[in-house]
């Protein structure tokens, strides 16, 4: 496109042309690969959204309908009027909000301790935090169920919240610790010499610089808590107490799956995650500490 604007032919040494065109070819190859990966990732989302707008016969037709020719909203109204929808929305919001807030507070304090103080057993603690993330969830679910039932936390939102925190916290602590280590220690030292208390230096200097880390962590916590299915499915029996992801599963019954409303429900369930991400992503401005020290 831009080559059209060229006014005079640029003299190019013949020896240079070949490597340059090869370079361009390689670049094009990578771009095509990138587009393929993008398509693979976006297609399921597109299929979910488009199916949500298709009438029943279009969904089940043997020749796939790529674009809904007669879009309908009935799937959405069906989904909303499905039993326990508003209960599920409320439960999901409670669980997610509590998990995000608690994980941020706890992870910030824990990361602070790990990054800024030296204490006995710090190294093993860091290794354990990394290690627990390697354990597969499926291996833990039965022992955890037994454990939670002993403390009467099965079929309760509080039980699910505690469970989610155990999975979110290690990652959050690890991430925030990394961000904290990136803040030069001279900044808080300088604040302390300037008249701040240790805690004051944390709040006035470290916390604002940790913005991107807190945003990254909160996005992770939000996605984990909002999208989680297995734990919620196993721990929450009563329909009134179920979260949205479990509620979605109720479209699959013994008589088959009601695809239209299911996809409409799934589309609606994805919206909060997208909205949350759009709201906070601007805060992920890396390099916020630029200019603090010579670099």
Q: Which residues bind another protein (CB under 8 A)?
A: 184, 186-187, 189-197, 200, 205, 208-209, 288-294
Identify which of residues 55 and 212 has a Cβ nearer to another protein in the complex. 212
Nearest CA to 50 out of 64, 68, 76 is that of 68
Question: Least Å distance between CB 183 and another protein?
Answer: 9
Question: Least Å distance between CB 205 and another protein?
Answer: 6
Question: Least Å distance between CB 282 and another protein?
Answer: 16
Question: Least Å distance between CB 284 and another protein?
Answer: 15
Identify which of residues 129 and 216 has a Cβ nearer to another protein in the complex. 216
Identify which of residues 143 and 195 has a Cβ nearer to another protein in the complex. 195
By CB atoms closer than 10 A (0-12, 13-18, 19+), residue 18 is exposed
Question: Least Å distance between CB 186 and another protein?
Answer: 4
Nearest CA to 100 out of 237, 278, 268, 276 is that of 276
Identify which of residues 194 and 240 has a Cβ nearer to another protein in the complex. 194
Identify which of residues 255 and 294 has a Cβ nearer to another protein in the complex. 294
Identify which of residues 29 and 208 has a Cβ nearer to another protein in the complex. 208
Q: Following DSSP, what letter does each residue of the chain receive, concatenated?
A: -GGGG--SPPP--HHHHHHHHHHHHHHHHHHHHHHHHHHHHHHHHHHHHHHHTS-HHHHH-SS--SS-SS--SHHHHHHHHSTTHHHHHHHHHHHHHHHHHHHHHHHHHHHHHHHH---TTHHHHHHHHHHHTTS-HHHHHHHHHHHHHHTT-TTSHHHHHHHHHHHHHHHHHHHHHHHHHTS-HHHHHHHHHTT--HHHHIIIIIHHHTHHHHHHHHHHHHHHHHH--HHHHHH--SGGG--HHHHHHTTEETTEE-HHHHHHHHHHHHHHHHHHHHHHHTT--S-TTTTSS--
Question: Least Å distance between CB 208 and another protein?
Answer: 5
Question: Least Å distance between CB 219 and another protein?
Answer: 21
Identify which of residues 80 and 187 has a Cβ nearer to another protein in the complex. 187
Question: Least Å distance between CB 156 and another protein?
Answer: 41
CB half-sphere exposure, 233, CA atoms < 13 A: 12
Identify which of residues 144 and 183 has a Cβ nearer to another protein in the complex. 183
């Amino acid at each position: 496109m831009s080559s059209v604007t060229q006014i005079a032919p640029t003299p190019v040494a013949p020896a240079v042309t070949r490597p340059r065109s090869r370079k361009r070819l390689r670049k094009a190859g990578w771009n095509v690969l990138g587009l393929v990966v993008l398509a693979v990732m976006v297609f399921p989302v597109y299929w979910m959204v488009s199916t949500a707008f298709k009438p029943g016969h279009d969904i089940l037709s043997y020749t796939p309908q790529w674009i809904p020719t007669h879009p309908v909203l009935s799937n959405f109204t069906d989904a909303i009027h499905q039993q326990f929808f508003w209960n599920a929305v409320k439960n999901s919001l409670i669980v997610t909000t509590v998990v995000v807030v608690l994980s941020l507070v706890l992870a910030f304090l824990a990361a602070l301790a790990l990054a800024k103080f030296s204490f006995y057993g710090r190294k093993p603690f860091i290794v354990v935090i990394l290690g627990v993330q390697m354990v597969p969830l499926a291996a833990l679910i039965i022992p955890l169920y037994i454990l939670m039932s002993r403390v009467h936390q099965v079929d309760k939102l509080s039980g699910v919240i505690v469970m989610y925190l155990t999975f979110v916290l290690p990652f959050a602590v690890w991430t925030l610790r990394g961000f904290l280590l990136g803040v030069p220690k001279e900044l808080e030292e300088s604040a302390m010499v300037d008249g701040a208390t240790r805690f004051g230096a944390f709040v006035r200097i470290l916390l604002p610089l940790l913005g991107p880390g807190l945003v990254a962590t909160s996005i992770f916590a939000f996605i984990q808590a909002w999208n989680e299915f297995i734990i919620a499915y196993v721990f929450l029996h009563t329909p009134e107490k179920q979260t949205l992801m479990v509620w979605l599963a109720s479209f699959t019954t013994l008589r088959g799956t009601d695809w239209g409303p299911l996809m409409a429900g799934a589309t609606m369930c994805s919206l909060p995650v997208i909205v949350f991400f759009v709201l906070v992503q601007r805060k992920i401005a890396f390099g916020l500490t630029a200019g603090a020290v010579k670099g």
